[in-house]
Amino acid sequence: MGRSGDIKKPRVFLAMAALYAVWGSVFLANKFSLESFPPFALNAVRFLSAGIVLYFYLRFRGEERMGLRGWLQSFLVGGLLFIGGAGLLCVGQQWVASGLSATLIATVPLWTVLFAGIWERFPSPMEWAGLALGLAGVGFLNLEKGISGHPLGALIIIGAAVTWGLGSVINNRFKELGKPIASATEMIAGGILLLVVSLITGERITWPLTPRSILGMFHLVLFASIIGFTIYRFLLRTVRPAIATSYALANPVTATALGTIFAGESISVIALAAMAVILSGVALVFRARTL
């Protein structure tokens, strides 16, 4: 690896650590927010607020505006990521617990590398091994929970993982979306589409808002969206898709830990063993490619 790669490597590791933390906590924040906000309205408020704030911040810093072609691309990618991905996740979380939702979303790296193979090339054998090990770990983590009681919710969340993976790959196919301001335009476009879906489906926000829903929304807007999505797009442009999306394999660990601390959920020896397997899979994916 050259000198520039050596400089970039610590930034990638720091970005991955931050993404693991902020997106691993999304499941608990969604659960709290759903106390007052229906799924699509929740994400419309989340991404419109975050996108507008980030857009004006970047414009103030001197970033160039997005052209018409870039906005059209933002609506396509934003629809896949935020209606199909984040929106469907919240729909499914109405019936599926946070920890189990995280295990289902952990299939994102598999879908992402499969879609990436359409335009680029399929994962290396070691990447396949890492992904398989990580998915085996999330299955192991789910042994005590099962999805038989919530098959529709589980299927919806798997659909969210598929569309998020597709949107992540298509994002990299558009040169216009390589601009820093694309983080904001994609969230604004996705937020507008989510608002339309919310209005069409007749969603209603429950007033007054509960304190936990306000706290959850604050976390989703600031940490999960403005900070988290900006980091994610940086990683998509910097490292292999399998690495950029490996956060999904660690999400069950973070979600389970937060559930134990803040929601009174218990953690078993099986769960701890499964977390070790998941993290081993993540490590193998990192090992497979030089950053």
Q: Which residues of the chain fall short of a pLDDT of 70?
A: 1-8, 120-121, 141-149, 263, 265-267, 271, 286, 289-291
pLDDT at 201: 94
pLDDT at 1: 43
pLDDT at 291: 47
pLDDT at 102: 83
pLDDT at 149: 54
**Average pLDDT of the residues of the chain:** 84
pLDDT at 211: 95
pLDDT at 35: 93
pLDDT at 143: 66
pLDDT at 141: 66
What is the per-residue burial (b if ≥16 Cβ within 10 Å, else e) of 257-269?
bbbeeeeebeeee
What is each CA distance from 49 to 41, 53, 197, in whole angstroms?
Answer: 12, 6, 17
